[in-house]
Amino acid sequence: MKPYILIDKKNELEGDFFIPAQICDEKILNFIIEKGKGLLCVSAHEDDLLKRGFFKLPSNGSKTNFFITVDYGKGTGISISERCNTIQKISEGLSIKDFVYPGHVNVLGAKEKRWGHTEASVFFSEHLGYKPYGVIIEILNSNGDSHDFEYILELSKKNKLEIIDIEDLYKEYVKKRFSIDTSVKLPTAIDEDFDIYTFKNPYDSREHIAIVKRPFKESIPYLRIHSECATGDIFHSLRCDCGEQLENSLKIISKKGGVLIYLRQEGRGIGLNNKVKAYKLQDEGYDTVEANLKLGFKDDERDYFAAYLILKALKINEVKILTNNPKKYEDLKRYGIKIKEIVNIYGKVNKYNKKYLFTKAKKMKHNLKLEGVE
């Protein structure tokens, strides 16, 4: 097996070589130490290490969950063959008493609710069918810098090594853990036969919900993915079209059967405070995209992976989606949901939301039919 390169685009912007500890051999180890040059570590579940008597190194704010370093056997511990042997013995589940410490192999504990190279490497080892122990080492470029993506890309091309984003591994990790928490009847003014579902959601630990109306009269359910908009959904704000979109979607779902997924993504994912700041900037002349950028965000911070997980949990693979926003169905398609039909869903255009809608049509490719937008 060849080592993988695990990149972490979100936090440390680093690339690590990775191999499952169980199949670590001297040739691969020599390669990743020579080419990686970072700190050679074995990663394991934190509670597994604690159970075996491994103990944490004292930490004064370190982000990495270091345990005591170890050697197996009585040699110097540093040769490739000795470190390979130590790695193997750690992956065989020996207790700390079988090791000499401190030693020459670093040990990292993977923690719940954290996702870095440590956690990704433990999960990936299991995902590949090996025991949950990974070997990782940061990749430093020729001047010793660890944040050089160009260099990492070069290295992967030259050695034909696969690069994997740990965010994608996280999505695999979550898929197995995302499930329906509970559901209950939710009679509403629009329809007395709705059910509301809540979910156990390790993805972003936000409380997304689904409102479901069965039966799906046209066999394929209508789907509305609705991002939370307190101003529009609750206070009927005229600055956007969300409140009416919510109401109109619920009416269609009530009549034809389907699902409304309510994602806690207020402000296109920037939150309510920041959205109100964005409104203030729009009062000063910025448009809805410029305002986001001015606040240091992307024009749209949302992704719809949670909606995909909810559909999977509800055993729905094909939908007729109510939206004007191509990103919603493009994301769902990418995750493997079949889009049978795309149905526009509008709110009324008024003097307060016209520019907002116009900008979304012009700059965010929303298919909104507004006069003056070709």
Q: How far is CA 243 from the centre of its chain?
A: 28
Contact status, residue 214 vs residue 257, Cβ threshold 8 Å: yes
Q: Which does 254 bind (CB under 5 to 8 A by kind): Zn ion, ligand GTP, Mg ion, none?
A: none
Applying CB under 5 A, the residues found at the interface with Zn ion are 229, 232, 240, 242
Amino acid, res. 271: G
Q: H-helix or E-strand containing 328?
A: helix 326-335
Of 117 and 328, nearer to ligand GTP (C-beta) is 328
Minimum CB separation of residue 56 from ligand GTP in Å reads 41
The residues facing 163 across adjacent strands are 5
Interface with Mg ion in residues 229-258 (CB under 5 A): 245
Nearest one of 328, 336, 208 to 261, comparing CA atoms:
208
Nearest one of 25, 46, 37, 62 to 107, comparing CA atoms:
46
Q: What is the CA radius of gyration of the chain?
A: 25
Applying CB under 6 A, the residues found at the interface with ligand GTP are 226-229, 240, 242, 245, 265-268, 270, 275, 278, 288, 292, 323-325, 328, 356, 366
Q: Which does 226 bind (CB under 5 to 8 A by kind): Zn ion, ligand GTP, Mg ion, none?
A: ligand GTP
Report the residue closest to Mg ion, judged by CB: 117
Of 88 and 323, nearer to ligand GTP (C-beta) is 323
Tell me whether the omega of the peptide bond preceding residue 102 falls within 30 degrees of 0, making it cis. Answer: yes
Minimum CB separation of residue 196 from Zn ion in Å reads 21
Q: Which does 117 bind (CB under 5 to 8 A by kind): ligand GTP, Mg ion, Zn ion, none?
A: Mg ion
Q: Measure Cα distances from 229 to 110, 235, 263, 275, 311 in Å.
A: 36, 9, 10, 9, 21
Minimum CB separation of residue 236 from Zn ion in Å reads 10
Q: Does 117 bind Mg ion (CB under 5 A)?
A: yes
- Judged by phi (left if over 0) then psi (alpha if -120 to 50, else beta), residue 150 lies in alpha
Catalytic residues: 300, 302
Of 309 and 345, nearer to Mg ion (C-beta) is 345
Distance CA 104, CA 87 (A): 10
Residue 97 marked as a ligand binder: no
Quick check: helix, strand or coil at residue 47?
A: helix
- CB burial class (10 A; 0-12, 13-18, 19+) of residue 127? middle
Q: Which does 107 bind (CB under 5 to 8 A by kind): Mg ion, ligand GTP, Zn ion, none?
A: none
Minimum CB separation of residue 261 from Zn ion in Å reads 16
Six-digit token string for 140: 């430093």
Of 32 and 259, nearer to ligand GTP (C-beta) is 259
Six-digit token string for 338: 């079949």
Minimum CB separation of residue 366 from ligand GTP in Å reads 6
Six-digit token string for 371: 């006069």
Of 120 and 270, nearer to ligand GTP (C-beta) is 270
**Residues contributing to the annotated binding site for Zn(2+):** 229, 240, 242
Residues lying near Mg ion in the complex (CB under 5 A) are found at 117, 245
